[in-house]
Amino acid sequence: MAGNYWQFDLESPEELPFLAGQYVSVRAADDGRRRSYSIASVPDGNKIELLIDVTPMGLGSKFFLARNEGDTVEILGPLGRFTLPPSPKKVLFVATGSGIVPFRPMIRELLEKRGFTDEIHLDWGMRYEEDLFWIDEFKKLEADHPNFKFDVVLSKPTKKWSACSGHVNDCLIKHRVSWEGWEAFLCGNQEMIEEVAVTLSGLGVRREDVHFEKFF
């Protein structure tokens, strides 16, 4: 996809029902060690997409980099409860790095399947511009759906970068003085989740309206 981010398309012999935001556990070693990956695609019959950040070059990275087209992998799933409620409020998604993955199907489900018309805001923090992916897709969603707003925040921008820079936390404060009445979904590194949860609490978001996935 870009930089150290790779997309893998998996096809199951059977229907693979799941909810946007869920993950699968992939058997990554013969001794039973597994790694968890959020599903990057919207529910679509027997296919799923996984987005793997191979930067850590750990067990999961090496396992996927060693796969060839047509190989078989064993997955367990769908798993997880980081999913959309039946009737969300205005929705804020905050991600860093590959934490964007569960939000892609969640946002597409809200906009394209549910016809959600209330506001949706996505803040995505990355280090470098060259690592960005799915930008055209999010821009198209933004163009097609006036209620969807999308911002990228770079922590290591070049001089020509004119959008938000720093941490996602900084960008949130710039956008609004209050996020009261919003429901927030956070996914990414643990420090970000803790910082943003505190920030949002100070900006009017109720604790029970902040949902997060911490296993990145």
Partner 1 sequence: MAVADQTYTVGSENKPTKTKYQVKVINDKCIGAASCVAVAAMTFKLNDANKADIIDQDGNVDSEKLLAAQSCPTAAIEVIDMATGEKIWPK
Q: What residue ranges bind partner 1 (CB under 8 A)?
A: 8-14, 16, 23, 25, 31-34, 36, 48, 67, 69-77, 79-82, 213-215
Provide the Cα torsion 159, 140, 199, 125; round to 10°. Answer: -40
Query: What's the min distance (Å) between Cβ of 104 and partner 1?
Result: 19
Residue 156, Cβ density class (10 Å: 0-12 exposed, 13-18 middle, ≥19 buried): exposed
Query: Quick one: 8 or 133, whose CB is closer to partner 1?
Result: 8
Query: What's the min distance (Å) between Cβ of 52 and partner 1?
Result: 12
Query: What's the min distance (Å) between Cβ of 127 and partner 1?
Result: 23
Residue 17, Cβ density class (10 Å: 0-12 exposed, 13-18 middle, ≥19 buried): exposed
Query: What's the min distance (Å) between Cβ of 19 and partner 1?
Result: 12
Query: Quick one: 83 or 147, whose CB is closer to partner 1?
Result: 83
Query: Quick one: 69 or 130, whose CB is closer to partner 1?
Result: 69
User: Alpha-carbon distance 165 to 115, whole Å?
Assistant: 32
Chain centroid to CA 3: how far? 17
